[in-house]
Structure formats: structure tokens, C-alpha cells
Amino acid sequence: MSSSSNFEASNLLEDNEWEEKIVEQNQQLDQLIEDIAIWPTTLPSQPTTQTVRAKMRYIERKRIEVHDTIFEQYFAEDPIYPPDLFRTRYRMRKPLFEKIMNKLVDTDNFFVPKRDATGHGRRYAPATGRLSMSTIQKCIAAMRMLAYEAAADLHDEYLRMSAQLIRKSLIKFVECVISNFGDEYLRKSNKELARLLHIGKQRGFLGMLGSIDCMHWEWKNCPTSWAGQYAKRSGSPTIILEAIASQDLWIWPAFIGTPGLRNDTNVFDQSPVFDDILEGRAPKV
């Protein structure tokens, strides 16, 4: 009897000790979880790193001196270079260039020089009160891009203009030329057909609108992957221009973009030059 009671007493003692250990372990686990939960808030705060925006670098390009140089070279009363050199270098006669330039000034404020006295539009440049790029500089920038087919930043040394402004001048120049001269110089020959046919008849060519021909224009910057389909027999990539010119050297229908590997017959089949005639929208020619 005594032995059984002793055994029960020892089991009860062990159970109590086991429960105390479990309670102690649970308390330690709760404390550990609490410590983990509040641990990030007890860390020393790190200084917040702010992204510092790099300031745009302003380069003093001496634009006034460049304008004076270009003016002396081509536009002064006694220019350094004669008009025939202007035609050679810019693929356009100087009177025509001046006509376009004057028209652009009248129709687009972009080509009007502005002063930066208050710094308007020049966030990173000092307000000096000088004129911005002149009309001549912006128009010459567009003409050099069209004439030389070079990257915009390559003209910076001569024009002292940023590549971004040179590209914008080219886009504005083309847009203004199309909007101001498109109705006269980019029109279809529908209204002129009677006159052209009459001229052809007088010259002994009944029903003749003009002379049609296909010309190969060399594509200097043709992508390498396209060079094969645009290369002609000489090996250099070209684009074919199909055009009809009247006897007074006006170009009427024109179609450009055919790969230089094609011949004249392939170009005729591909171009829309005869669409109005085939669909009955033009007189018989």
C-alpha cells in the first residue's frame, strides 16, 4: 500500500515539474516572438537616400559669332562664297532658300529669334539677354541634315547647336515647307492635264503627259540586313525613284521606295502612277 502511494506521489511530482517546464518554455517562446516583432523598430534609422537629378550641362557655344560667320559666308552683300557654291553645298539656289526662310518666319514662331533676358524656356542656361539661335542657323541646320545625311551632333561644331535643336529644326522645316508650299508644289497634275496634253500635241507627241524614268538613289545608311535586296549590280544599296517630268522640268507623279534590285518593269507594276488612268479617273493619255 505504501509502495503504491509512493509511486503515485513520484508520478505527480514529475507531472508538476513537466508542466512547469512547459509553462517556462511557452513563456520563453512568447518573449522570443515579441522580441522578433519589435526588433525592426529598435534598429537605428538609416538616412534616406534621395536620387539626385543630374543637372543638364550648359555649353556656351557662342551662337552670335556663328551667326555672323554664316551671314558673312553666304548672305552678306559681298559674301565670301558665291551663289553657285551655295547651290552646290546645300542642293538649293540661294533665292529659293531665302524665299522659304522668309515664309517660315511669317508662319511659325519657332524660327523667330527670341531673347533669353528673363530666362524663359532656358532652365539651365543663364539669362544673358542675348538672342537665341537665329533663323539662318535653324534653316541652315535643316538644309545640312538634308544635304549631307549625317548625324545631328556632327553639325554641332559648325553651327554650334545641340543635336536636339538641330533635329527639331529639321522636323519644323519639313513640316512648314509641306504646309506652306504643298498646295502649289505637291499637287496632282489633274488640273494641268489639258495644258500638258496640249503641249505634247504641239511637240508631236499625241496623248503624252511627260517623260517617265526610273532613277537609282544611293542609300548611304542602308541597314546591313537590308543591303542585299536594295543592292544593284554595282553592289551599293540604292532606292529607285520613278517620276514623270514635263517639258518645263516639273515633276508630276512620283513614286520612291522600290529596292534597287528591281528593274523598270517591276517598278511600273508596283507603283500607283497609272492607277488614275486604269480606273478611269484621268483623261486618255
Could you report the per-residue pLDDT of 213-268, keeping only the tens digit for each? 888 888 888 888 888 888 877 778 999 999 888 888 888 888 888 888 888 888 88
- Give yes or no: residues 240 and 140 share one domain: no
The number of residues making up the chain comes to 285
Residue 68 in this model has a pLDDT that exceeds 70? yes
Please give the pLDDT value at position 53.
62
The number of distinct structural domains making up the chain is 2
Please give the pLDDT value at position 49.
58
Q: Which of 185, 205, 234 is the last residue of a domain?
A: 185
- Give yes or no: residues 181 and 245 share one domain: no
Q: Report, as an integer, the average pLDDT of 10-16.
A: 60
Q: Which of 164, 185, 206 is the last residue of a domain?
A: 185
Q: Report, as an integer, the average pLDDT of 102-124.
A: 71
Distance (Å, whole) CA 87 – CA 103: 20
- Give yes or no: residues 209 and 264 share one domain: yes
128: amino acid identity, one letter: T
- Give yes or no: residues 162 and 237 share one domain: no
Cell (9 digits) for 243? 517620276
Please give the pLDDT value at position 256.
87
- Give yes or no: residues 179 and 67 share one domain: yes
Distance (Å, whole) CA 144 – CA 41: 64
Query: What rounded mean pLDDT belongs to the chain?
Result: 78
Range of the domain at 228: 190-278
Distance (Å, whole) CA 261 – CA 265: 12
- 3-class state of residue 133 by DSSP: coil
Distance (Å, whole) CA 73 – CA 54: 39
Q: Which residue has the higher pLDDT, 95 or 16?
A: 95
**Residue 2 falls within a domain, yes or no?**
no
In the chain, the percentage of residues whose pLDDT exceeds 70 is: 77
Condensed to tens digits (0 to 9), the pLDDT of residues 154-203 reads 888 788 888 888 899 999 999 999 999 988 887 777 778 888 888 888 98
